[in-house]
Chain A
Amino acid sequence: MAYRPMLEIVALEKRFGSNTVLKNIDLKVAGGELVFVIGPSGSGKSTMLRCCNRLEEPTSGDIILDGRNIMSGTSRDLNRMRLQVGMVFQGFHLYPHMSVLKNVTLAQRKALKRSKPDADARAMDMLERVGLAHKANAYPAELSGGQQQRVAIARALALDPKVMLFDEPTSALDPELVGSVLKVMKDLKSKGMTMLVVSHEMAFARETADRVVFMDGGVVVEEGKPEEIFGAPKAERTRTFLSRVSS
């Protein structure tokens, strides 16, 4: 089978001044695949994720989305590319001055130029999917953290992205609310969404990920199937990290 990745990171490098946070990163994510990125804080995993839609500008290297290099092109191309890459943040970042429905329709209307009925219908579908259709007219401040994060997922999904990026989506949540968000992510996976996830939810990774990548010090230390990484890590650094988080 000709293997063409949906998202490909090639020789990615990122420096802040003299500080190199990402060194020569290569990573491929196939269509429908869920790739989990783990590693200690400061390992560069969030920066790598943010380079994938150029919220962080790579110092060098290429990001190839469905066969197209996103590092070239005008700012309009950049906006069009971002429509195809959904992103979910640790801090949700819903727009506090807009209702849930408007949060989900804004980019559909203004960036995708969908008509209002189309955007509303699509938004309601997505809210249904994350179990929050009944909150369409609520404001973000009236929702729990878990609900806000599910709305944020709906906001990204409504744009029909090819890839979804998750940047520690459950780290800011109370423990009892984590499950609802993970359930939505699992559902996405089962529907064939391509996902790149930075998270500390090891149990979830073991259960749902197709592949796990361990990063440390700005490099990919090792990658493999969850049972390989969690069961028999090859690198010493991976072993140390896993023993620390599981204890």
Chain B
Amino acid sequence: MDIFLDQFFNLAIMTKVFPLLLKGLWMTVKLCIAVILLGLVGGLFVALGNLSPQRWVRWPTVVYTDVFRALPPLVLLIFIYSGLPFAGIKVSPFTAVVIAFLLNNSSYYAEVYRAGLISVAKGQWEAAASTGLSRSQVLTYVVLPQAVRNVLPDLLSNTVEVVKLTSLASVISLSELLYSADMARSVTYNASPLVLAALFYLVLLWPLVRLVSHFQRRLAA
């Protein structure tokens, strides 16, 4: 038992690496902000493309969502970070992560938005259009608020996944939370920094996970 505590919950080590992990956490937060915002906006456009009556808009976006949902985000990340330099395109780790996850997330967010948009009754479009609002006004003021409200739990749970996904950035040595923890692990020969990182993720995400469950229960009722 002692050895277990010493290896996983070593307070001395945890205290020592805490500032380092905090710095890593800050990088994770920056990543999250960039990736979530881009994903939310990009996903909306992809969803609108998915629902477009024009075939030459619809098909490419449908292929886009399917392909990027089929590829593991880590594969995209490695391809962009290690593959593109062969073609003379060099990107920083941060940019590589943002691009890879934008491709991945926008596809997932797009699916959520799409479900939301088609859940809004057709009559809402017609009523709003009949009062002289333009298509983009109908979308902005009437349809989108309802669509987002209808799929809020899914948007939220997708966002939780995005935050978890940022841990993959450690694979290409971007010094976010997990990378910092793993560095500390390899220096201290002790898993406590990883456990501390796990605790950080829990503090960050558990409330959101609870919220998702809460929403889902309320919608089911």
Contact = CB atoms under 8 A, between A and B. Distances in A.
Contacts of B132: 79-84, 107, 111-112, 159
Contact of B134 (A53, A81, A86, A111): A111
A106 B124 CA distance: 13
A232 interface: no
B130 A106 contact: no
Interface stretch (A19-27, A88-96, A217-225): A88-96
A25 B130 CA distance: 22
A97 B130 contact: no
Interface string B124-149: 10111111111101000110011001
Contacts of B88: none
A106 B133 contact: yes
A110 B123 contact: no
B11 to A, nearest CB: 50
Contacts of B130: 53, 55, 82, 85-87, 89, 156
Contact of A111 (B123, B127, B131, B149): B131
Given A106-B142, A110-B137, A93 B124 contact: yes
Interface hub of B121, B132, B146, B149 (most chain A Cβ within 10 A): B132
A83 B126 CA distance: 13
Nearest to B146: A97
A93 B126 contact: yes
Contacts of A81: 132
A75 interface: yes
B134 A106 contact: no
B131 A97 contact: no
Contact of B129 (A82, A86, A96, A152): A82
A95 B126 contact: no
Nearest to A84: B132
Nearest to B148: A97
A129 to B, nearest CB: 17
13 contacts: A55-B129, A75-B135, A76-B134, A81-B132, A82-B131, A82-B132, A83-B132, A87-B127, A94-B127, A106-B131, A107-B131, A110-B137, A111-B133
Interface of A: 53, 55, 75-76, 79-87, 89, 91, 93-97, 106-107, 110-112, 152, 155-156, 159
In the A-B complex, the 5 residue pairs with the smallest Cβ-Cβ separation, listed nearest first, are A83-B132, A93-B127, A107-B131, A87-B130, A93-B123
